[in-house]
Homo-oligomer: A and B are copies of this chain.
Amino acid sequence: MEKNEQTWYSAITETAPNSIRLRGYRIDELMGHISFAQAVFLAFTGRLPSEEEGRLLDAILVSGIDHGTTPPSTLAARTVASCDVPLTSALAAGILAIGKAHGGAVEECMEVVRKTVALADDAGITLDESAERMVAEAQASGRRLPGLGHRYHTADPRALRLIELARECKFRGRHIPALQAIESAFIKAKKKSLPINVDGAIAACLCEMDFPSSAGNGFFIIARTAGLIVHILEECAREEKMRKIHPDAAVYDGPKERKLC
């Protein structure tokens, strides 16, 4: 193709007749050989993940897949789905509800975690001292600290498991410790506990794997897209059109608690 002022560039996927290459790899060669989470890692970063990185990203995606009928994104998606519209319309409505208040604090939390580490390095102080300064600064300027606290959970099981898994996978960077230092500094400063939430744990794990902060919000959205679609299909299959959806009146009637093995 002749290059001119209209030319623009993309480094993601090269498409030609009967050939699609993601970051250089033939997509039909990737199929069957790497998992979707590994392909997502490749698409975002341009390189194949290590086994540990792939496993941790898989866990991040599993952690965000669904949260039942409580999130506003789910309620928005089901409300729109009840109007007899295409799947994509209901899904788009759900995705549009994801933002700073719900599912969209990962990028900001990655920034805070990185600043905490950088401050410790630059000032020659400990992560605990650095975290205390970050918390004090947030308090002084009235900003909420992203990655802490959850409406439902006092100990978010997804956050705890992600941090444990990062350790199992031998991620030994300073980002998870930095987030834990922030959690502790918050307790010290406010005399109340606001534990690490799933956004925070995802953020710290993504920092450990060197993702740019700008990419942070994408993973929760990919994961939750699956959950939203399942809710939309259930809404269409089980409910009447144009029904009133009472957010507190949902009762779970799926399989009882069971264990993997």
Q: Is the interface of A mostly helix, strand, loop or mixed?
A: mixed
Measured in the bound complex, the distance between the Cα atoms of B222 and A191 in whole Å is: 42
Residue A121 at the chain B interface, CB threshold 8 Å: no
B233 touches A229 (CB 8 A): no
Which of chain B's residues have a CB closer than 8 A to the CB of A156?
18
What CA separation (Å) do A225 and B27 show in the bound complex?
A: 16
Q: Nearest Cβ in chain B — how far from A127, in angstroms?
A: 25
Interface string of A230-248 (1 = CB under 8 A from B): 1101101111011111111
Binary contact track A207-238/B, C-beta < 8 Å → 1, others 0: 00000001101100111011101110110111
Report A's interface with B, CB cutoff 8 A. 1, 3-4, 6-15, 17-37, 39-40, 43-44, 46, 48, 55, 58-59, 61-63, 65-70, 72-73, 75-76, 79-80, 82-93, 95-102, 104, 151-158, 160-162, 165, 168, 214-215, 217-218, 221-223, 225-227, 229-231, 233-234, 236-239, 241-260
A-B contact pairs, 20 of them (CB 8 A): A6-B244, A8-B243, A10-B251, A12-B234, A12-B254, A13-B69, A13-B254, A15-B152, A28-B160, A29-B260, A44-B230, A76-B76, A76-B79, A83-B99, A84-B99, A85-B97, A87-B217, A89-B97, A89-B99, A222-B222
